[in-house]
Amino acid sequence: HSRSGLARSRPFQGDPVMRSVLFDTETTGLDPLTGDRVIEIAAIELINDLPTRNTFHRLVHPQRDVPPESTRVHGITLDKLRDAPRFAEIVDDMLTFFADDKLVAHNAPFDFGFINAELARCNRPKLLRERMIDTLVLAKARFPGMPNSLDALCRRFGIDLSQRTTHNALLDCRLLAEVY
């Protein structure tokens, strides 16, 4: 490929390679400070803002109930999580996948808050806000006064939502990667 080519499978020697990680969580509720917990985490590696095939996905046992109002959002019941590992059992794999790279999420303070609460329970350092790229903030700046939910953005960009009957962390990551 020439430098002006539209697509290339790998960077040219000397081109900077920027890795970031786009991620999403599903939870038992809306507030980690009142005991709500992460029940699913998914992440996709981005190289120069484009998704690779390198993903991370885990269901997590929350060590508490999953309220019906939460199950209506994501379709995950406590029974589905019966054999899932605890967060402390997946934290090393998650942190290895995240590395020290920028972390992209839609409404990132929500996901950071939950991950940081889980990290605190494991006596691990929190994710620093300097690593955060919030696609909701980016969308509000680009489309002020318009709906900027993930569904609204997918519709705006003509991205197929037919598989999204409930929130699912890995599917939401794939959709957000297309939007991003």
User: Do the beta carbons of residue 60 and residue 89 sit within 8 Å?
Assistant: no
Q: Is the confidence at residue 13, as pLDDT, over 50?
A: yes
Q: Report the alpha-carbon distance of residue 30 to residue 176 in Å, rounded.
A: 20
* 64-117 per-position pLDDT tens digit: 999 999 999 999 999 999 999 999 999 999 999 999 999 999 999 999 999 999
The token pair at 41 is: 């985490």
Catalytic-residue membership of 167: yes
Q: Higher-confidence residue: 146 or 6? A: 146
Mean pLDDT of the chain: 93
- pLDDT band for position 5 (cuts 50, 70, 90): very low
The single residue of 61, 74, 106, 167 carrying the catalytic annotation is: 167
Q: Report the alpha-carbon distance of residue 95 to residue 99 in Å, rounded.
A: 6
pLDDT for 4 equals: 39
Strand ranges for 29-180 from DSSP E:
38-47, 50-59, 102-105, 132-134
Neighbours of 28 (CB within 10 A): 25
Contacts by residues 78-81 (CB-CB < 8 Å, ≥ 24 positions apart): 81/39
**3-state helix, strand and coil shares in percent for the chain, rounded to the nearest 5:** 40, 20, 40
pTM for the whole structure: 0.90
